[in-house]
Structure formats: structure tokens, C-alpha cells
Amino acid sequence: MRLLPNILMIGPPGVGKTMLAKRIPSILPPLNKEERLEVMKIHSVAGILPEDCILKERPFRAPHHTITPAALIGGGKRPKPGEISLAHRGVLFLDEFPEFHRNVLDLLRQPLEDEEVRISRVDGNFTFPSQFMLIAAMNPCPCGYFGSETHKCRCTPQQIQSYLSRVSGPLLDRMDMQIELLPVKKEIYLSETPVSESSDNMKKEVLRVRKIQAERYQDESIYYNSQLSSDLIRKYCHLNSDSRKILNRALARWNLSGRSYYKIIKVAQTISDFDESQEIEGIHIAEAIRYHCIEKYYGKE
Ligand SMILES: [Zn+2]
């Protein structure tokens, strides 16, 4: 059961994708004692835990796109944890997502599903935990400026299509949110009251919403919206007539899968929790759909 959502960020070069990803561990709830021990154990097996080190922040790992399968997933003669296990309880950031080898990316599917990775060797099987939040980043097209107001994109539709198709559909399907990042307009940048939120405030907000969720699910064996099964979604997520209409329209228009359907509702429930609303309203579902439709972004309507 996933606790942390997977996010795909799409935006032109220099828009701040890496900076944003690096900040994410700072707005997540702190590691509890048990989690910290788990993480330290893995880092110690990998031989990267400095002596006398008490880990404070959640891990943030950002391997380069030339990484080998063994270094990402784990491996070696006496298997060592790979980046996906070093990112356990934290963030795995894959910048230039489509530049990773397709076979390397496809190896992520099983651990994303099971939150652990199994490596078989002649002398036995090894299992390493790998419950990480995947944050992938990519340009919208090979030149980087598709959809930009300031630069002209020089790519052909075929080039864009082939760039996008380097990331397989099943992997895209496992991303809970797809976020489009656009350059901040100069007028906003220079305005006297910058629209920004400190990490501390954001962390407080995250904790507030997590508390709402933990209370709602006190009679279930889950804590957060991200863990809702389809049965529990039917029990706890109430769409009003507006949001139901909007969601049905989006499903028909982009031919979304059942998996997408439930994912959108879970994200919408979280947005509605931020508003402390009793039901999922139209604006909540519309925002959740925006975080989902890469298809729309690429005009595949
Ligand atoms: Zn382009």
C-alpha cells in the first residue's frame, strides 16, 4: 500500500524541477524511530552510512540517467541495495526521465508495486525494502520548449511522440500525479508580494491534512487517502453531482483506465481535505484531473 504519491514533472529546462524535487523531503513528515532505523540499516549495508551518523532527513537520491540496472535496483555478486532501496522512505528523483534506458525504467515497475525488490542469486534470494516516492522530471519535448510562450519549439509532432513513448504506458500509469511546470511570468516574479510558501508552512499543512485522514480512517487499517482500496473509496469518497459529471466527461474524453479513475478520486479527496470540505466538489476533481492528463498535454484528444 503506497504512502507517498509518485509524481511526474513536465516543464522546460531551467524551470526549477530539480530544486522543487530536492525540497520535497523537507515538507514530508519526519522519519519516526522505526523508519529511521530501517533506513540506517540499508545505508549501512550499502556502506554509505558515515560513522556516528544519525539520519535526520528522509533520503533524497538522484541517480544519473546512465545508471546501470544493478546500481538502480540492487545487485552484485553479494547483492547490495540499489538506489531504489537507498531511497527507501524518501525520494528517488529521476531527472531527464526519458533519457534513462527503457529496460532500466521497466525494472522500476515491480518494486513500485511491491515496495520491495527481490534479487535472486544461486546461493539464495535477497529482498531489500524499496518504499520510495518516485519523482520523475522531463522536458515536454526534445528541444524543451513545447507549449512555451517565450521560446519556439522546433520539434516535429513525430519527434515529440517518440520522445514521450520512451517512457512506457504502464510506468506512466503508476504516476499518481503529472504536474506541468511553466516559467514564472516576469510580472509575477517582480511583484512586491511574491507568491511563495515556506517549507515549514507547507509541512504544517501536510500534517494538518494527514491528521484529518487518520481520523477519518480510524476504524480501518489505513491512515491516508493514498492507501484507499476501491471498496473504501466507495465508502468514504463522496463526489457531488458536479464532480461526478466532470470526472465522467474526462474518462470518456481521454479513455482513462480504471486505475486512473481511482487515482484521480484519491487525489481529489486529498485536495478536498485541504479545504476541509465534506464532499469532493467540482473544483477538486478538476484539479485532480489536471494532475493526470499527460494525454491532454500532448494533444492526444
Ligand atoms: Zn520542442
Residue range 124-154, pLDDT digits in tens: 888 999 999 999 999 989 999 887 878 899 9
Q: What pLDDT is attached to residue 185?
A: 63
Whole-number pLDDT of residue 195: 58
pLDDT score at 296:
53
**Is 88 a domain residue?**
yes
| Residue 23 DSSP one-character state | H
Residue 217: which CATH number? Answer: 1.10.8
Average pLDDT over the chain reads: 87
- Rounded to the nearest angstrom, the distance between the alpha carbon of 84 and the centre of ligand 1 is 31
Same domain, 248 and 150: no
Report CA(147)–ligand 1 centroid distance (Å): 8
Distance separating alpha carbons of residues 148 and 155, to the nearest angstrom: 12
Q: Considering only CA atoms, which of 156, 165, 174, 112 is closest in space to residue 138?
A: 165
Instruction: Measure the CA–CA gap between 233 and 220, rounded to whole angstroms.
Output: 12
Run of H or E residues at 125:
strand 124-129
Q: Alpha carbon of 197 to those of 1, 193, 273: distances in Å?
A: 30, 11, 19
177/234 same-domain check: no
| Least confident residue range of 97-101, 168-172, 297-301 | 297-301
CATH number (domain holding residue 161) = 3.40.50.300
Kindly state whether residues 126 and 243 are assigned to the same domain. Answer: no
> What's the grid cell of residue 67?
545508471
Q: Supply the pLDDT for residue 15.
A: 85
Question: Cβ(72)–Cβ(135) under 8 Å?
Answer: no
Which of 158, 190, 222 terminates a domain? The answer is 190
CB 294 within 8 A of CB 171: no
**Residue 229 DSSP class:** -
Which residue in 74, 52, 79 sits closest to 61, CA to CA? 74
Domain closes at, from 140, 160, 190: 190
Q: What is the count of structural domains for the chain?
A: 2
Distance 234 CA to ligand 1 centre (A): 42
Does residue 275 form part of some domain?
yes
Structural contact between residues 251 and 288, judged by C-beta atoms closer than 8 angstroms? no
- Give me the domain span that covers residue 260: 199-297
Partners of 8 in the β-ladder: 136, 178
Q: Residue 96 carries which side chain, given as an amino acid letter? A: E
Residue 109 alpha carbon to ligand 1 centre in Å: 28
Both 146 and 282 in a single domain? Answer: no
Output the nine-digit C-alpha cell for 300: 492526444
Query: What three-state secondary structure class fits 94?
Result: strand
Tell me the average pLDDT across 94-113.
Answer: 91
Question: What pLDDT sits at residue 188?
Answer: 53
Q: Is residue 281 part of a domain?
A: yes
Q: If you measure from the C-alpha of residue 179 to the centroid of ligand 1, how many angstroms do you get, rounded to a whole number?
A: 18
Separation of 18 CA from ligand 1 center, angstroms?
A: 20
Q: Do 215 and 86 sit in the same domain of this protein? A: no
Q: How far is the CA of 256 from the centre of ligand 1 (A)?
A: 26
Specify whether 22 is located in the same domain as 86.
Answer: yes
Q: How far is the CA of 209 from the centre of ligand 1 (A)?
A: 38
The whole-number average pLDDT for the span 98-118 is 90
pLDDT at res. 147? 79
pLDDT, one tens digit per residue, over 57-78 is: 899 999 999 999 999 999 888 8
Rounded distance between C-alpha atoms, residue 295 and residue 226, angstroms:
23
Return the SS3 of 267: helix
pLDDT confidence of residue 155: 94
Q: At residue 178, does pLDDT exceed 80?
A: yes
Residue 17 and residue 161 in one domain: yes
